[in-house]
């Protein structure tokens, strides 16, 4: 069915999802007093909140995004925290470093060791169920109500293996190097860029990165995530990259003065890395030479697996092709409903211009 849900622990408001019993918002759209944050992308982590609850893995990158002075309570995955009148725990979402699903539990008994569970609701945030080298893999969480993203909720979206995609990227880079061209890859500075870097073959040549990517790499290093060494893609360091290197930059740098300075004698070959590259015409709209299909969101089969594995009786769908997934679920006997969102997944996550690599200002950025 498409309509309003039965009463639940988590419900939509003008500030985003809200748990009234616990007195907190989940990934609020505006500053609120108490926020539970699934991950550090700018469309999920609003600056200016009174306090934040996030995973331990998320804390370094969240502080890079919202400021070192923010009041952040970082907890390990799976640890129960009493918030207001409910119990909250965070569980791996597999989207980017520190991304979490939020489990909210209302108990019939005030004794934590006694009494049956009254209701469990889970908000997935952004997630993918394909493991990668840069974050903790997704773990299904059992619940009564599942509220999930639907960024790629169309049957056409079925991801190729990431190993085959990395092989394509490295082969493209090698061919560019042999032709004396600089390889410039556009990938979101937080999450996608680090996943791309982790899949590169450093034996092909030197690797450079835009300043906003290198800044986010610091958060990954703080959590012990191994990434290849990158050179700053600015100033005199660019000369060592021209014609042989691969440079990772945010999509907002495409067509910028900075990007135009990167070409050596034979110029630059550009590529964009995103799940949207599966759709014909996306590469042309991005004005790049190559498109590589790699997403940090679940594809159509992944979304359906997550629903089945949760055992949810009700499914709320948000942040993407909500109507399509809700209609499909209703046709297959599921109690499903649309949860309003002000965002549309990867399509709006990175429209802010990025500063030049040597600009000390924070770079607004988010991922597909």
The closest alpha carbon to 132, from 189, 195, 194, belongs to: 195
Instruction: Give the number of C-alpha atoms closer than 13 A to the C-alpha of residue 278, restricted to the C-beta side.
Output: 17
Q: In what order do the strands lie in the sheet with 11-13?
A: 11-13, 16-19, 24-26, 34-36, 51-55, 72-75
Total Cβ atoms within 10 A of residue 330: 16
In contact, 25 and 34? CB cutoff 8 Å:
yes
What is the spatial distance between Cα 129 and Cα 138, in angstroms, rounded to a whole number?
5
Whether 18 and 27 have beta carbons less than 8 Å apart is answered as: no
Q: CA–CA separation, 19 vs 120, rounded Å?
A: 12
Which of 281, 340, 260, 334 has the alpha carbon at shortest distance from 304?
334
pLDDT in tens, 280-325: 777 677 889 999 999 999 999 999 999 999 999 999 999 999 999 9
Q: What's the longest Cα–Cα distance across the chain?
A: 72
Nearest residue to 334 (alpha-carbon basis) of 325, 344, 342 = 325
For residue 14, give every residue at least 6 positions away whose Cβ sits within 8 Å of its Cβ, in sequence order, or none: none
What CA dihedral angle connects 112, 115, 117 and 118, to 10 degrees? -110
| DSSP letter string, 285-347 | HHT-SEEE---SS--HHHHHHHHHHHT-SEEEEEEESHHHHHHHHHHTT-EEEE---S--GGG
- Residue-wise pLDDT tens digits, 138-168: 999 999 999 999 999 999 999 999 999 999 9
Compute the distance between CA of residue 217 and CA of residue 189 in angstroms, rounded to an integer.
Answer: 9
- The class (CATH top level) of 11-157+297-347 is alpha beta
pLDDT tens, the chain, 368 aa long: 344 445 579 999 999 999 999 999 999 999 999 999 999 999 999 999 999 999 999 999 999 999 999 999 999 999 999 998 899 999 999 999 999 999 999 876 555 555 555 899 999 999 999 999 999 999 999 999 999 999 999 999 999 999 999 999 999 999 999 999 999 999 999 999 999 999 999 999 999 999 999 999 999 999 999 999 999 999 888 999 999 999 999 999 998 888 888 876 679 999 999 999 998 777 677 889 999 999 999 999 999 999 999 999 999 999 999 999 999 999 999 999 999 887 654 443 443 333 333 333 333 333 44
Domain ranges of the chain: 11-157+297-347, 162-292
* Separation between Cα atoms, residue 88 and residue 106, nearest integer Å: 9
Cβ atoms < 10 Å from Cβ of 15:
14
Q: Are 289 and 271 in contact (CB under 8 A)?
A: yes
Helices (H) and strands (E) in the chain, counts: 8, 19
Q: Any idea which fold 162-292 has?
A: Rossmann fold (3.40.50)
Pairwise CA distance, residues 59 & 188, whole Å: 19
Report CA-CA distances (Å) from 340 to 43, 47, 159, 330. 14, 21, 26, 18
């Amino acid at each position: 069915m498409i309509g309003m849900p039965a009463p639940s622990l988590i419900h939509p408001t003008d500030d985003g999802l809200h748990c009234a019993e616990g007195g907190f918002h989940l990934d609020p759209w505006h500053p609120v007093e108490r926020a539970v944050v699934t991950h550090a992308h700018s469309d999920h982590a609003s600056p200016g909140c009174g306090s934040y609850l996030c995973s331990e893995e998320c804390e370094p990158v969240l502080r890079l995004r919202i400021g070192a002075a923010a009041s952040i309570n970082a907890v390990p995955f799976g640890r129960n925290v009493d918030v207001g009148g409910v119990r909250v725990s965070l569980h791996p979402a597999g989207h980017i470093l520190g991304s979490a699903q939020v489990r909210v539990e209302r108990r019939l008994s005030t004794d934590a060791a006694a009494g049956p569970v009254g209701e469990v609701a889970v908000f997935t945030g952004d997630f993918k169920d394909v493991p990668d080298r840069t974050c903790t893999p997704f773990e299904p969480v059992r619940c009564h109500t599942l509220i999930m993203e639907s960024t790629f909720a169309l049957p056409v979206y079925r991801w190729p293996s990431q190993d085959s995609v990395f092989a394509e990227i490295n082969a493209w880079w090698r061919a560019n190097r042999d032709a004396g061209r600089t390889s410039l890859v556009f990938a979101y500075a937080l999450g996608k860029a680090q996943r791309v870097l982790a899949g590169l073959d450093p034996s092909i040549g030197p690797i450079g990165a835009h300043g906003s990517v290198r800044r986010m790499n610091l958060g990954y290093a703080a959590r012990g995530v191994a990434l290849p060494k990158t050179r700053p893609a600015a100033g005199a360091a660019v000369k060592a990259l021209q014609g042989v290197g691969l440079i990772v930059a945010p999509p907002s740098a495409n067509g910028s003065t900075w990007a135009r300075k990167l070409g050596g004698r034979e110029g630059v070959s550009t590529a964009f890395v995103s799940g949207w590259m599966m759709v014909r015409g996306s590469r042309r709209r991005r004005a790049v030479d190559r498109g590589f299909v790699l997403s940090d969101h679940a594809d159509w089969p992944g979304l359906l697996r997550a629903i089945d594995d949760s055992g949810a009786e009700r499914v709320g769908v948000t942040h993407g092709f909500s109507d399509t997934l809700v209609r499909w679920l209703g046709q297959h006997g599921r109690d499903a409903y649309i949860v309003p969102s002000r965002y549309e997944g990867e399509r709006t996550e990175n429209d802010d211009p990025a500063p030049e690599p040597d600009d000390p200002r924070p770079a607004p950025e988010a991922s597909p």
